[in-house]
Amino acid sequence: MSLERREFLKLSAATVAFTAFGGLGLDLTTVQAAADLSKLKGSKQTTSVCCYCSVGCGLIVSTGLEGKGRAVNVEGDPDHPINEGSLCPKGASIWQLTENDKRITKVLYRAPNSDKWQVKSYEWALDEIAKRVKKVRDAAFIAKDAKGQTVNRLEAIASVGSAAMDNEECWIYQQMLRALGLTYIEHQARI
Amino acid sequence: MTNHWIDLKNSDCIFVIGSNPAENHPISFKWIMRAKDAGGKLICVDPRFTKTAGKADFYAPIRSGSDIAFFGGFISYILANDLMFKDYVVNYTNASFIVGDAYDFKDGMFSGYNAEKKAYDKSKWAFAKDEAGIVKKDPSLQNPRCVYQLMKKHYERYTLKAVSDITGCAQDKLEQCYKLYGATGAPEKTGTMLYAMGQTQHTVGVQNIRAMSIIQLLLGNIGVAGGGINALRGEANVQGSTDQGLLFHILPGYVPTPAASMQELKTYNEKNTPVSKDPKSINWWGNRPKYLASYLKAIYPKQKPEDAYKWLPKVEDGKDYSWLTLFDEMYKGAFKGFFAWGQNPAASTANCGKVREAMTKLDWMVTVNIFDTETASFWKGPGMDPKKIKTEVFFLPCCVSIEKEGSISNSGRWMQWRYPGPAPLGGTKPDGDLIYELFEKIKGLYAKDKKAVFPDPIVNLNWDIATNHVFDPHKVAKLINGYFLSEKTIGDKTYKAGDPVPSFALLQDDGSTCSGNWIYAGSYTDKNMAARRDKTQTPMQEKIGLYPGWTWCWPVNRRIIYNRASVDPQGKPYQPTKPVIEWQDGKWVGDVPDGPWPPMADEKGKYAFIMTTEGFAQLYGPGRNDGPFPEHYEPMECPIPEHPFSKVLNNPTALKFTGNREGHASCDPRFPFICSTYRVTEHWQTGVMTRWTPWLLEAEPQMFVEMSPELAALRGIKGGDKCTVESARGSLWAIAIVTERMRPMQVMGQTVHMVGIPWHFGWVYPKDGGDSANLLTASVGDPNTGIPETKAFMVNVKKA
Ligand code: SF4
């Protein structure tokens, strides 16, 4: 292998999905050209950031403009100053995480003492959850503690989550939980 | 991180301990290799010879759970050999502070311990103050009650011999390691320390980090390029989710949650706003009332802050609500309902067998995820009889990150905007939409029920976070940044209602500003700063790869925090080849400085560490629950009955629980080996996402246990054998990997063996992948944070 490190970086930036698992037993120049063409044809590009570790590697996501409009490729963003186009195996597999037939795409409900899931709608589930939240809160709300101090809290519901959410989602989630009066609010940072 | 990923390249010496960036933060290693290419050295201290160790210039193994002994020996070595950066230590740390008479340390215990409460009275550790209320100091560092002298005395006991006996690391290795990294105490040199859960997941986790910080401060390595104390955080947005206050003890921006004894906003502010009498100390947390008022205005825009404050839930004073306690309460049946939102606690919690049983006691659980998890399906897991389990479970599927829009914050505090690529698959939804829609429904129920209990905080909550009934991340990002609510003139500038707050320096405590999270003020002003892609740098910034125009970083786009300590009191960089900031012609250039004030020596100058009350970094830390100096204690489960430093075996303040699921086994012949949990490159956390990704699963298909050839011979195990690993709490199977990466060690005259297991697997998928490592770990935690001790516990290993 006579490639200089810099050249290798340049090439791997464009062919990361191949090099991550295929090693370098390929004629990279041809692969690069082919990859470029097939990727760009009929797709739009957007930038994102890897959802795994906290290095925060930049991604370029290519989404098909025709058919079902699904992701056709996810690779490292060569302009991103941290990863300069490269990704580790986790980042390089985000396409497969997305286009994955094992994903749960329907709301599931497990009734008390049942041994199976039932498929439900979001509408039904959110209605039912809201009713349960209100029922518990109305019954268990603690307006004052044993010392007679006003505490306005609800200790009968707990929440964990989530570092897997965006900042904006985390913020509205904490706001909702605190409005309900929850004090058992925790997430991954504690473990 | 005090610094950021690219900055690793600026380091003369990178010290990796309790982390494994080559495997767990792989792309960061690019920057470590750049430092090495430029002549920098890499040190790796780890019980296991990891891939990071494989690239290191120097590797030293230590027994898992002996870190403070290792660091104590290091501190002692620095002081004995005068390796410290004296000007830095005197100017910027509390080395010169005089400690009050009530502080004492005897045979492993600090003064003020209450055996009944298992807690210290921290007031005993306070500094001595003069008549003006300013801490007494001795810059000559000679006073026997000054921090420097007390520290020296404290760590004299940590001799090379004692440290070697307890860590299992040979004396000459220790000395070489201390010497190599100690060289960064030279003013022009910088060294960085990289840690992860290998340091935090201990009953002395916080003191591990404190010990590293002490070393960094003694060597003048904080605030500088190629320096800092850098947590390599495990999740893409765990920095952000912490910043946004998803923990029981903090609101967004590290503002403590109100407690019951603080009935009025005024009382809260009195109790939570530090005061400094020293005019040279900025005491930035003195601004806390502005941040809480602005947060209250963000969530309840129509209420006065003092009224909105009354609606906030108040925690009971002194009560713990943290993770392990939460699941202990669930186990006792305290909860009716539970949200596991984007989390898999049935696999991720220490002693997760207890958690799985605890879930059977709930009335209902809501769980949100991309794939099925051990949590969602707990009712049909191993040993469960669904017919006997009453818990209702609602599984709401969410979309993946490339299908939605919003920001995440990386370890280096960079807030990075993500755009949506494909639409959410099969009608799944972003978490933001699910939260938005759920609360709309809850609010609706409260609005129409005249008898609903205390509806005010619910019906008045600011829920203007959607556009056309769809969650709008831009609206929320603007609210997190904050804006003026009424016209306000500050200095010579007048802001109108609706104008974004340009920086947290302009937030007010009178209700005229809102800001969902003060540390993010400045992130969404006239434009979305987190979406920026400008790589322009000044030549000075280019030297250290600062990239100030790429995305945005909290606070105020400051890329290296505590950077006032990178310059001498005249404002000249200590490391002229890699300057962070410099005082030139009456202004600062380079990074955004820690405040605009002139350098410290100037008449108007201020102390460097603006977030501490006194303005100095804390070698002596009187605020922690387990002592102002880190002290070695053994893990709660350990292989030895005594250690050389005192008669106190374990941390006397550790978080512990009682009950039938809390097995415990120290020096127990049934569980003779130390076990540690860790990660592999191809999986992530409990494996919820990666186990379902075929490329990754193929690379790492199942649970394994790494052990030394010596241990394998002892137990008659060969590589590839199926083994049983068991602790006092549970048991699982794992495939043996027999490898010299693990070595037996000599600890206190005995041979100690260690094994290691990954924690990415679970029974749900794949079918023959094994179950969670946390079935074995103990529910004991750090007394400051409650983080469980999953890096050192005792097990047995045998052929299955
Ligand atoms: S690609 Fe790898 S190193 Fe980069 S953020 Fe993702 S998981 Fe971390």
Q: How confident is the model at residue A40 (pLDDT cuts 50, 70, 90)?
A: low
Pocket test for ligand 1, best of A84, A87, A93 (most atoms within 8 A of CB): A87
Mean pLDDT of B557-562: 98
Write the DSSP string, A119-183. EE-HHHHHHHHHHHHHHHHHHH-EEE-TTS-EEEEB-SEEEE--TTS-HHHHHHHHHHHHHHTB-
Mean pLDDT of B464-472: 97
Mean pLDDT of B479-508: 96
Q: How confident is the model at residue A11 (pLDDT cuts 50, 70, 90)?
A: very low
Determine contact: A91 vs chain B, CB below 8 A.
Answer: yes
The predicted structure's pLDDT at residue A22: 35
Of A40-54, B316-330, B529-543, where does mean pLDDT reach its minimum?
A40-54
β-pairing, B229-231 vs B250-251, is unpaired
β-pairing, A150-153 vs A157-160, is unpaired
Q: Which of B24, B37, B244 to mutate to test the interface with A (most CBs of A within 10 A)?
A: B244
Mean pLDDT of B328-342: 98
Q: How confident is the model at residue A2 (pLDDT cuts 50, 70, 90)?
A: very low
Mean pLDDT of B160-166: 98
Mean pLDDT of B582-587: 97
Listed by start position, the domains of chain A span 39-97, 122-190
- Among B110, B228, B107, smallest CA distance to B624 is for B110
Report chain A's mean pLDDT, rounded to a whole number: 86
The reply to whether residue A112 touches residue B368, judged by beta carbons under 8 angstroms, is no
Determine contact: A8 vs chain B, CB below 8 A.
Answer: no
Tens-place pLDDT, residues B115-143: 999 999 999 999 999 999 999 999 999 99
The reply to whether residue A56 touches residue B421, judged by beta carbons under 8 angstroms, is no
Report chain B's mean pLDDT, rounded to a whole number: 98
Contact B34, B218 (CB under 8 A): no
Tens-place pLDDT, residues B64-105: 999 999 999 999 999 999 999 999 999 999 999 999 999 999
Ligand 1 nearest-atom number relative to CA B28: 3
In chain A, positions 93-122, which contact chain B (CB-CB < 8 Å)?
93-94, 96-100, 102-115, 117, 122
Please, which residues bridge with residue B135 across strands? B129
The predicted structure's pLDDT at residue A6: 39
The predicted structure's pLDDT at residue B105: 98
Cα angle for residues B662, B663, B668 (degrees, 5° grid): 155
Of A14-28, B5-19, B454-468, where does mean pLDDT reach its minimum?
A14-28
Does domain A39-97 bear CATH number 3.30.70.420? Answer: no
CA separation for the pair B595, B731 (Å, rounded): 54
C-alpha B360, offset from chain centre: 31
- Which residues form the pocket of ligand 1, taking CB atoms under 6 Å from any ligand atom? A 50, 52-53, 55-57, 83, 87-88, 90-91; B 25-27
Cα angle for residues A60, A63, A68 (degrees, 5° grid): 160
pLDDT for A16 beyond 80: no
- Among A102, A182, A96, smallest CA distance to A142 is for A182
The predicted structure's pLDDT at residue B348: 98
* Nearest CA owner, ligand 1 atom 6: A91
pTM for the model stands at 0.95
B371: distance to nearest CA of chain A, Å?
5
CB atoms under 10 Å from CB of A93, counted, come to: 26
Contact B265, A189 (CB under 8 A): no
* Nearest CA owner, ligand 1 atom 2: A88
Percent of chain B with pLDDT over 70: 100
A117: distance to nearest CA of chain B, Å?
9
pLDDT for B51 beyond 60: yes
CA separation for the pair B158, B164 (Å, rounded): 10
| Chain B residues with beta carbon closer than 8 angstroms to that of A75 | none
* Nearest CA owner, ligand 1 atom 1: A91
- Look up the ipTM and state it: 0.98
CB atoms under 10 Å from CB of B180, counted, come to: 17
The reply to whether residue B343 touches residue A173, judged by beta carbons under 8 angstroms, is no
Locate the chain B residue with the closest alpha carbon to A111.
B392
The reply to whether residue A184 touches residue B326, judged by beta carbons under 8 angstroms, is yes
Contact B191, B228 (CB under 8 A): no
Q: How confident is the model at residue A39 (pLDDT cuts 50, 70, 90)?
A: low
The predicted structure's pLDDT at residue A66: 86
pLDDT for B260 beyond 90: yes
- Taking the centre of ligand 1 as the mean of its atom positions, its distance from the CA of residue B733, in whole angstroms, is 29
Contact B617, B229 (CB under 8 A): no
Q: How confident is the model at residue A38 (pLDDT cuts 50, 70, 90)?
A: low
- On the question of a cis peptide bond just before residue A162, with omega within 30 degrees of 0, the verdict is yes
Cα diameter, chain B = 80
Place of tokens 């306070």: B126
Contact B347, B374 (CB under 8 A): yes
Tens-place pLDDT, residues B367-408: 999 999 999 999 999 999 999 999 999 999 999 999 999 999
Contact B244, A170 (CB under 8 A): yes
- Taking the centre of ligand 1 as the mean of its atom positions, its distance from the CA of residue A60, in whole angstroms, is 13
- Among B631, B620, B621, B685, smallest CA distance to B654 is for B631
Write the DSSP string, B123-189. GGGPBPB-TTSPBPB-TTS-STTBHHHHHHHHHHT--HHHHHHHH---HHHHHHHHHHHHGGGSTT-
User: Residue B797 belongs to what H/E stretch?
Assistant: strand B793-799
Closest in A69, A106, A173 to B397, CB measured: A106
Contact B129, B82 (CB under 8 A): no
The predicted structure's pLDDT at residue A28: 44
Please name the residues in contact with B592: beta carbons below 8 A apart, sequence gap of 6 or more. Answer: B548, B556, B557, B558, B559
- Taking the centre of ligand 1 as the mean of its atom positions, its distance from the CA of residue B279, in whole angstroms, is 45
**Helices and strands (DSSP H and E) totals, chain A:** 7, 9
Mean pLDDT of B660-676: 96
Tens-place pLDDT, residues A119-159: 999 999 999 999 999 999 999 999 999 999 999 999 999 99
The predicted structure's pLDDT at residue A41: 77
Mean pLDDT of A100-113: 98
| Chain A residues with beta carbon closer than 8 angstroms to that of B235 | 52-54, 163-164, 188
Q: Compute, in degrees rounded to 10, the torsion defined by CA atoms B744, B745, B746, B748.
A: -120
Residues across chain A? 191
The reply to whether residue A151 touches residue B260, judged by beta carbons under 8 angstroms, is yes
Q: How confident is the model at residue A37 (pLDDT cuts 50, 70, 90)?
A: low
| Chain A residues with beta carbon closer than 8 angstroms to that of B426 | 103, 105-106
